[in-house]
Amino acid sequence: MTDWSEAKAPDLAALEAMAREVIAGFPAEFAGHAQSVILRVDEIARDEFLEELDIHDPLELTGLYDGIPLTEKAPSEPQSFPDTVWLFRRAIIDEWASRGNVTLGALVSNVVVHEFAHHFGWSDEDIATIDRWWE
């Protein structure tokens, strides 16, 4: 039997390292564009993100893409802020614990890929056609 008495949830740095491993494994056609995106890992989503998305419980938001998708960028209109993928540690840990049927690595990978898919111009509906994660 596994002794969980000394087990600890990963901290921000550990979660970031997991996410960076996922990004490093992106196929070549996506890897270059992914390098221009800032990766941020915070404990929990900021109030302004929650308000903008009309989310009342911060544990419902595991990740967020904040930027302009590549399919909508115009060279004549420079962006005034960098594209950023946000991961929210407490929400990810909460989802992992409540699911109980996935590894933390698999969940982090799913969240990272989902948020970067938005950067590449995929909608939630596009992502859902190939990724039935919630089922």
17-44 pLDDT per residue, tens? 999 999 998 888 888 888 889 999 999 9
Q: Is residue 90 part of a domain?
A: yes
Q: Is residue 93 part of a domain?
A: yes
| Sign of the Cα pseudo-torsion (106, 107, 111, 114, in order) | positive
Q: Is residue 4 part of a domain?
A: no
Q: Look up residue 113 and give its two tokens.
A: 């890929």
Q: Is residue 135 part of a domain?
A: no
Q: Is residue 1 part of a domain?
A: no
The closest alpha carbon to 92, from 7, 16, 21, 6, belongs to 16
Q: Is residue 26 part of a domain?
A: yes
How many C-beta atoms surround the C-beta of residue 16 within 10 A?
Answer: 17
Q: Is residue 7 part of a domain?
A: no
pLDDT of residue 132: 56
Residue 112 is part of which domain span? 12-130
Q: Look up residue 78 and give its two tokens.
A: 């420079």
Query: Residue 61 belongs to a domain with what CATH number?
Result: 3.30.2010.20
Mean pLDDT of the region 44-70: 94
Indicate the pLDDT class of residue 68, thresholds 50, 70 and 90. Answer: confident
Q: Is residue 52 part of a domain?
A: yes
Q: How many CA atoms lie within 13 A of 29 on its CB side?
A: 2
pLDDT of residue 133: 52
125, pLDDT greater than 60: yes
The pTM of this model reads 0.86
What is d(CA 46, CA 42) in angstroms, rounded to the nearest whole number?
A: 9
Number of domains composing the chain: 1
> Quick check: 71 and 118 in contact, CB under 8 A?
no
